[in-house]
């Protein structure tokens, strides 16, 4: 079986946010083998501003799942951990986003890889750059660290939470 390297973003802003992230990391197995985990950042909400602050992190995993199977497994884990359908970009117990799947570029009605808003989100790029600064964004041809730096000062993201 060929394993793909997959980068994931994890976020939570309801309930015990740190516990939700810990539970999600554990629930990734056996479908995803976690290889590296970023620091945890506390961030202001984006898009829908009237909601609690988020805890965000990223991880590098390997998986034998095909891209769409990987997406479905992440959605299954979210549901298992208690995520309910809600307002887009609204509050959630857990959010698992597939950011990069090897160097694959895929754009279908159901699924886009790399994540289509990866390059504009400091709450994703800051933790991702901690574990994958030199990884190239497949469609933009720039490193994750370069994309993070283009967003300006990300020091306002607080990284004082430990899992």
Q: How far apart are CA 54 and CA 40, in angstroms?
A: 10
* Highest mean pLDDT of the ranges 40-44, 82-86, 146-150: 146-150
Q: Percent of the chain beyond pLDDT 90?
A: 72
- Active site residue: 17, 60, 92, 121, which one? 92
b/e per residue 97-121 (b: at least 16 CB within 10 A): bbbbbeeeeeeeeeeebbbeebbeb
Global confidence as pTM: 0.92
55 has pLDDT over 80: yes
- Active site residue: 22, 23, 97, 103, which one? 97
pLDDT for 54:
85
Mean pLDDT (the chain, rounded): 89
Annotated active-site residue 97? The verdict is yes
Any idea what the CATH number is for the domain that residue 74 is in? 3.30.70.560
- Active site residue: 22, 50, 53, 95, which one? 95
- Active site residue: 17, 22, 53, 83, which one? 83
| Contact (CB, 8 A) for 97 and 78 | no
| Contact (CB, 8 A) for 56 and 131 | no
Domain of 97, in residue numbers: 4-161
pLDDT for 52:
83
Annotated active-site residue 16? The verdict is no
Number of domains in the chain: 1
pLDDT for 162:
62
Annotated active-site residue 23? The verdict is no
Annotated active-site residue 50? The verdict is no
């Amino acid at each position: 079986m060929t394993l793909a390297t997959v980068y994931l973003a994890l976020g939570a802003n309801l309930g015990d946010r740190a516990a939700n992230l810990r539970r999600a990391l554990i629930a990734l197995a056996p479908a995803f083998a976690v290889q590296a985990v970023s620091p945890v950042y506390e961030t202001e909400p984006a898009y829908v501003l009237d909601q609690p602050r988020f805890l965000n992190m990223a991880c590098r995993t390997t998986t034998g799942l095909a891209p769409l199977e990987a997406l479905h497994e992440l959605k299954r884990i979210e549901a298992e951990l208690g995520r309910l359908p809600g307002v887009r970009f609204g509050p959630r117990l857990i959010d698992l986003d597939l950011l990069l799947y090897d160097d694959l570029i895929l754009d279908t009605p159901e699924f886009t890889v790399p994540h289509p808003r990866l390059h504009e989100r400091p709450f994703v790029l800051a933790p991702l750059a901690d574990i994958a600064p030199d990884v190239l964004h497949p469609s933009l041809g720039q490193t994750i660290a370069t994309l993070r730096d283009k967003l300006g000062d990300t020091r306002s993201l607080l990284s004082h939470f430990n899992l």
